[in-house]
Homo-oligomer: A and B are copies of this chain.
């Protein structure tokens, strides 16, 4: 499918960038990227997110360690920490209606803040790439999330959803094949059987892709990797951490 315009062309050639040139990111560039992030939709205009741009080398070094020793967190010129943020809403309730119970602990409000942060971040990622920068999302920010929160001095009702390295690319990775469209897109109703019938072909695609990229050292099917992923006890501290930050999941 040929891209019909430069924006879709940009979206279709996205790949995560983990190696950066020495070029720093100007303050005006950072502001343009985050401003573009802010233009994403937000539930009832609550704008329930914030972002911490970490430039200080010592803080980046510490964050790289907390994210599981990912060198690119330290090496990128700017590391963005995208946070779901209900603190402005709670403060407003305390100011105007202290006599009323507020419901920041609802699962619904956790979803709103998490989605708001993700929509803004993805808009920012697109803006960054349109300016010739590269990004990679860092879920490892949730590995030792309580320590990250302390390091960045996050207040109550603010949690880091993910990090994002930002810098000028010093590599050109191959675009990774996505699931077949037919496995993801349903018409009028969810047709599990029909969608899942495309997974075998995707396993073949990914085996070939991984095998080529690792010169034959690895050739695991995608579905097999997914089995490993969901049977791993991944970040089991999240529930307690979130509860303690005010996201009670009521």
What is the interface of chain A, defined by CB distance below 8 A to chain B? 1, 4-8, 10-12, 14, 16, 30-32, 34-36, 38-41, 43-47, 49-56, 59, 83, 86-93, 95-97, 100-104, 106-109, 111-112, 114-115, 118-119, 121-123, 125-127, 130-131, 135-137, 139, 142, 151-155, 158, 161-162, 175-176, 178-179, 181, 183-192, 195-196, 199, 222-236, 238-239, 242, 249-250
Contact = CB atoms under 8 A, between A and B. Distances in A.
B118 A154 contact: no
Given A38-B179, A50-B195, A185-B31, A7 B6 contact: yes
Contact of A1 (B32, B112, B125): B32
Contacts of A242: 107
Contacts of A52: 186-190
Contacts of A97: 227-228, 231
B196 A227 contact: no
A130 B8 contact: yes
Given A38-B178, A52-B190, 5 more contacts: A12-B36, A52-B187, A93-B230, A106-B233, A106-B239
Nearest to A45: B176
- 4 closest A-B pairs by beta carbon, nearest first, are A118-B118, A7-B130, A89-B230, A122-B122
30 contacts: A1-B32, A1-B35, A14-B39, A14-B41, A31-B181, A40-B122, A41-B137, A43-B137, A45-B222, A50-B195, A51-B184, A52-B189, A52-B190, A53-B186, A55-B187, A88-B199, A92-B223, A96-B224, A96-B227, A101-B231, A102-B230, A103-B230, A103-B233, A104-B230, A108-B142, A108-B238, A114-B114, A118-B119, A119-B121, A152-B190
A56 B126 contact: no
B34 A185 contact: yes
A188 B125 CA distance: 19
